[in-house]
Structure 1
Amino acid sequence: MTYAPDEPALARRLEVATGVGPAWRCLRCGSFVPGPPRGRGPAEQAPVVLRGKLLRDAWILRLLAVDRFVRGTLLLLLAGVLVYFDERRDVFRSYVERDLPSFKPLVDELGIDPKQGVARIVLELFEVSHERLVWITVGIAAYGLLLLLEGVGLWGMRRWGEYVAAAATAAFLPFEVAGLLGHVSLLLLLTFLVNLFLVGYLVWTKRLFGVRGGRRAWDAERRQTSLLEVEEAAGSADG
C-alpha cells in the first residue's frame, strides 16, 4: 500500500533511491517497494491501513456480513423450495394422503403431535392458496436479497452497506418485541439482543443518521487517520 503525498516534506521521507529506481514505503508493512506509488494525493486522503481499532471494526463488520450471507442464502433456498412445492402441490398431497397413515403407529409411539411443529406447518401449506403462497415466496426472496445486499456492503465496509444494515435491522425490532411479548423464548431474546447491539454499534461507531456529528465528523476522522498513517510511516522511515 504505497502512497505519494502531495506534501513535499512527507514525500521525501517516504521515497528512497535504489539501484532499480525509486522505492516507496508501504503504509501497511513498512517495507520499501520499488516502482511508482499505487496512489497519489494529499496525505489526509491516503488509504487507511486496517490495524488496531480499524482492524477490530473490520472483523466485526465481516462477521456480520457472513451472518447476512448465510441467512440470505437460506432464505433464497426456502423461496425456491416453496416454488417447487407450489408447482407440485397435488403430487405432494397424494404422497401425504397415501403414506402418512403408515407412519401413525410410529408417531403415536414417539408421542409426537402431528398438529404441532414442522408437521403442522407442512399440513397448513396445503391449505394456502396459490396467490397467497406466491406473495409469501416473493417476500421471503426479497428479504433474502436484502440480506445479501447488506452482506456485500458490510464485507466491503461501505457506508451505504452500514446504512442498509442499520435501517433494515431496526425495522424488524418492533416485530421482535411483539414476538417476545407474545411468547418469551431464549432464541427470540438472543436474536433481539444481537440485532439491538448491531443497530447501536453501527449508529454509534459509524456516526450514522447524524449521530456524533454524522458524515462530516466521520469524514474528518478518516482524514485524520490517513494523515497519521502517512506521518507514522514517514517517521519510521527517518528512524
Structure 2
Amino acid sequence: MDWNLRTCSRKGHVTYAPEESRYRDKLEAHTPLGDAWRCLRCGAYVLGEPHGSGRADDAPVLLRGKALRSAFILRLLAIERWVRGLVLTLLAIAVFRLKSSQVSLQELFSRDVSALRPFFRQVHFNISDSATIKSIQHVLHTKSSTLTVVGVGLLVYGLLQVLEGIGLWSLRRWGEYVAVVGTTLFIPLEVYELTETITWLKIVVLLVNIAAVVYLLVSKRLFGLRGGYRAYEASLNEESLLEVEHSSAA
C-alpha cells in the first residue's frame, strides 16, 4: 500500500513554495494550464497556488512513509484501549449494581454485556477464568464495604484507558506519556492473569503491550531517552527540511 497516496486521497495534497531557489525550482512546474506545485507528501503535481510559502526549514512536517505507518500503529493501539476501557467500565457498573443484587459478579457482568458475547467467544475469552474477576469476588465477599472502592478504581482505570485512546488517536505527545504509564501499570495485572490460566489471547495482549511501551519509549524519546523532548523536536524540524528535499528530488 502507498500510504502517502492513500492519505492524500483522504485529506488532500499539501504544496509549499520554499524561498530557496534550489528547492523552489524543483518543486514548481509551468504548464499550459498554469503553475503547478509538487505535493510534499505524495510527489504529485497540483495546479494552483501553493498552500504555504517561506523558508524550507519552516515547511510543514507531514506524516509520510514510516511516520504514516507509525500513526496507523498508534491508532490501532487507541482502538484496543477503547475496547479495554469499555470492558472495565462495564465491570465497574456491575460492581456498583452488586450493592442491591444477590447475583454473582460473573452472572451480573455476563448479563450486562450480552451484546459483547459473540466478540468474547471469537477471541476465546472466558470471564469465569479471569484471575482478576475471582480476586474481586473474593474481596467483595470478604468485606462488603469495599464495593465502592473497587467500583471507583475500575471506573477510574477504565476512563484512563479511554483517555489513552484519545491521546494515541490524536497523535499527541501527552497521550504517548499516558499510554506508557497506563500500560506499564497494567502489565503486572496481565502477568497475574497468566498465573490462573494461560491462553493465546492473554499472551498476545501481554506481548503487544510490552512492545508498545518499548516502541513509544524509544521512538518518541519519552522520559529523556535518546535526548528527550529537545532531541525529538530537533528531529521534527529536520524532517520538515527533508520533506522539501525529498519532494524536490523525487
Normalising by structure 1, what TM-score?
0.70
Distance of 1:37 and 1:146 partners within structure 2: 41
Alignment map for 1:191-206 (pairs within 5 Å): 191-206=205-220
* Aligned twin of 1:89: 101
Deviations 1:171-207 (A, max 9, x none): 3344555x27965734655444332222111111111
Aligned Cα RMSD in Å?
3.5
Q: How far is 1:165 from its partner? A: 0.7
Q: How far is 1:129 from its partner?
A: 6.5
Residue in structure 1 matched with residue 43 of structure 2 by the alignment: 30
- The structure-2 alpha-carbon separation of the partners of 1:120 and 1:77, relative to structure 1 and needing over 3 Å to count, comes to closer
Gaps of 5+ in 1: 97-115
Q: Which residue of 1 aligns with 2:117?
A: none
Percentage of pairs with the same residue: 46
Instruction: Give the match for residue 148 of structure 1.
Output: 162
In 2, the alpha carbon distance for the partners of 1:53 and 1:39 equals 24
In the alignment, the residues of structure 2 paired with residue 197 and residue 120 of structure 1 have an alpha-carbon distance, to the nearest angstrom, of 28
- Computing the radius of gyration from Cα coordinates, the structure with the larger value is 1
Contact kept, 8 Å, 2:194 with 2:202, in 1: the verdict is no
SS in 2 for 1:37: coil
Quote the residue 1:48 is aligned against. 61
Distance 1:18 1:85, change over 3 A: farther
TM-score for both structures, normalised by structure 2: 0.68
The corresponding residue for 1:211 is 225
Q: How does 1:58-207 map to 2 (within 5 A)?
A: 58-86=71-99, 88-89=100-101, 127=141, 131-176=145-190, 179=192, 183=196, 185-186=198-199, 189-207=203-221
| Residue equivalent to 2:237 | 223
**Residue pair 2:129, 2:196 contacting (<8 A) in 1 also:** no
On the 8 A contact 1:89/1:126 being kept in 2, the answer is no
